[in-house]
Each structure stands twice: as C-alpha cells, then as structure tokens.
Amino acid sequence: MASTMARAGWARDPARSRGRRLGAQHDPEGAAAGPEQFRLDRDRIVHSTAFRRLVYKTQVFLNHEGDLFRTRLTHSIEVAQLARTLARSLRLDEDLVEALALAHDLGHTPFGHAGQEALNACMAGHGGFEHNLQSLRVVDVLEATHPGFDGLNLSFEAREGILKHCSRRQASLLLAQEPGGPARRFVEGGAPSLEAQLVDVVDSMAYRLHDIDDGVRSGLIGLDDVAGIPLVGAHWLALEGEGGEGRRRLHEALRRTRTALQQDLVDATLGRLQAGEAAAAAGRTVGHSPALLRQTEALSRWLFARLYRHPQVLASNRMAEEVVRTLFAHHHADAATMPPEFADRADRARAAADYVSGMTDRFAREQHLRLTGRDPFADLAGA
Ligand code: MG
C-alpha cells in the first residue's frame, strides 16, 4: 500500500531513490520495489535480529530494574509513532520516516550511553566506537539474515538518514570505502533530508518526555518536583484543581506538553518551508520555534542535572562500564570465545566490539557472571 498522504515536493520520493547499497542482481525484491522502496526498508528493519535485541537494551533505566521502564525497543516505537504523525502534517515520506525512527538506535551497546562510552574507551587506538556509525554497520554488514548478501541492503536514503552524526575524519574513511556514499555530506557539507531531521528532533522530544515518566516511576524524580520542570511544569500547574492527581495528572501534563511541542514543530517547520528557505543549508529546517527551542534546551539541562547524573544512575553506569570492559577484554584477548562469524575475522578489536555491542543487557550480564562469578548489579542492589 502506498502512503495515504500527498507527499510534498520537499519530501524524499521513493520512485527517485538513489538505489540500494548492493546491485540488483543480489536483491530481486529490492530491484522490484519501485515506489515502495522505503516501505521495504522499514519492513527489513522490523524483521532484523538487531531490532529484536532492542527489547533487552537499556534506554536510561537498566532493563532488570523494572518491567515498565522504556527500553530501546519501546522508545523506538514511540519515536516512530510520533514521527509518522508529524510526517503526515509536514507531508514528508511517512515510510522513510518510520524506517529511520525504527533504525535510529540499532547500533546501541547494552546499558545505554554508559556501555557506549566504555566500549569507545576499549576501542581507543582501534578506531573508536560510536553508536550512530554502528547503526550503519548493523544495517550494512552485521545483520546476517539474507542468503545472498550481508546486511539489509537498504536504500541510499535510509542509510543516509541513519548516519546522522559523523566526524570529518570518520566521514573521510567511509567515503574512501564507498565514494559518493552517505558519508559525503559530512565532507562536502549539505543538509540531511527533512525526514532525517524530523526523526532526530522527535527522538529528543520522545526521550525527554518519557524519561520524566520513567524518572517518576523509579522514584528518582518526585511528583513534588514536577512543577519546577521547564516546559512540563507550566502544564502541570495549569491542571491544578482539574481533578486528576498524582500519576494521572503527570500523564496529562506530559500529554499536553507533547501536543504543544508537536503543534509548534509543525507550525515553525511549515513556516520555514513555505518561506522558501535559507535555514535548509544549515540542516535546521525541521524544528521548533526559537521560543520553544530554548525551553526544550532548559528541559534537557534539568534532566541532566536531576536524572541522568543522579547518584543512583551514575552508580549503575559504573557497573555497566565494568561489565562491558570485562567482556571486551575477554573476547579481544581470545577470539575463539566468540561465535565463528566474529572469531574468524582479521580485525580482532573490531570483531570484539561488534560482538559485545550487539549483546542485550541481559546476555551481557549473564556472560559477565559466567566469566567472573560476579554480578556487579546484584552487588549494587545489596549495597
Ligand atoms: Mg533514540
């Protein structure tokens, strides 16, 4: 089924895709997709192994800390839902937006940003580790589910959108391997597609709001604190005396904040698009009005100070780092401890990073216990 909306001239058009990574001879289904190219990308992402792993990967709260906290999977689904709704209002390509949203966290290590930082430190001297570059590696080469080729053989537009950040040095390396590839805009300049810009903004919108909900659920943020949260606090205060209290009032305040953010994003973005656009060159066409942007930045600072750097979050981050460091050192030192598709590779450091980064929180924790006889998270809970 084609998208139900009328795509605007500013949207990416699947019928004019720059094609798939590998030639049509490897991929008859891709060659036949025509105007359904981006829908095929979306389908391949949903059916990938990497996508299913997101269910046991941490967003902020570790997976074992509670069943109702967001995981990377539920986060990705929330981003996809919000982004698809907004894509319709902005008349962007909904299938491409959904594909990018569902793929945007595929390269994350176990244990959220703590895991990525530990793995990046392990890979110092071996080219480093960055989750965004890893997302592209996952869809290009690591996913091993097709008999005819490595990776998912996604469209250029999907791959370009997945590679949302890239240093110039990394971009030059990628470009040497694939001239004209998705890294080109990081070397030559140029804005990401509007679809990619939207997913990036919505990623932040989604996690800022759901992390408040998870923060309250965990008890690290008190309901007494909500009135002081930038942006959300005003909606919370406006609900005074309206009946709902506690968690219901919080949900309503978050819902109203989200609605306000969505409306502002659509109005500000359509205004810029219809004005014809100097902002496009800077890659900031899709986004909030200056007033709301300042408030979302204040909200981010609040979350860093009160949640992401909460002593309890930092303590479990240290345990996560220890687990990742131990597993990397073990598999790097003895490649035969990894499954053959990793053990047989010439670049042992990259193979170990690929293997460890693909682990879920739960698997990494079990492997660490098996190797060392110690579960640092249990130590933490008992402390
Ligand atoms: Mg995300």
Q: What is the pLDDT of residues 128-179, one digit of tens each?
A: 999 999 999 999 999 998 888 999 999 999 999 999 888 888 888 899 999 9
SS3 276: coil
**Residue 324 pLDDT > 70:** yes
The length of the chain, given as a count of residues: 383
- How many CB atoms sit inside 10 A of residue 277's CB? 12
The amino acid present at 145, given as its one-letter code, is: T
Distance CA 206, CA 80 (A): 10
Residue 2 CA, ligand 1 centroid: distance in Å: 27
The amino acid present at 23, given as its one-letter code, is: G
Q: What is the pLDDT of residues 172-186, one digit of tens each?
A: 889 999 998 999 988
Which H helix or E strand runs over 28?
A: helix 28-32
Residue 205 CA, ligand 1 centroid: distance in Å: 10
Q: Which of 171, 186, 161, 181 is nearest to 79 (CA)?
A: 161
Residue 288 CA, ligand 1 centroid: distance in Å: 18
The residue with greater pLDDT, 31 or 103, is 103
Residue 19 CA, ligand 1 centroid: distance in Å: 26
Distance of CA 239 to the CA centre of its chain: 32
Q: What is the pLDDT of residues 183-231, one digit of tens each?
A: 998 888 888 999 999 999 999 999 999 999 999 999 999 999 999 999 9
Q: What residues have a C-beta under 5 A from ligand 1, the ion?
A: 105, 203
Instruction: Give the pLDDT band (50/70/90) at residue 1.
Output: very low
Contact criterion met (CB below 8 Å) for 100 and 196: yes
The amino acid present at 249, given as its one-letter code, is: R
Give the pLDDT mean for 9-38.
88
> Residue 110 burial by CB count (10 A; 0-12/13-18/19+): exposed, middle or buried?
buried
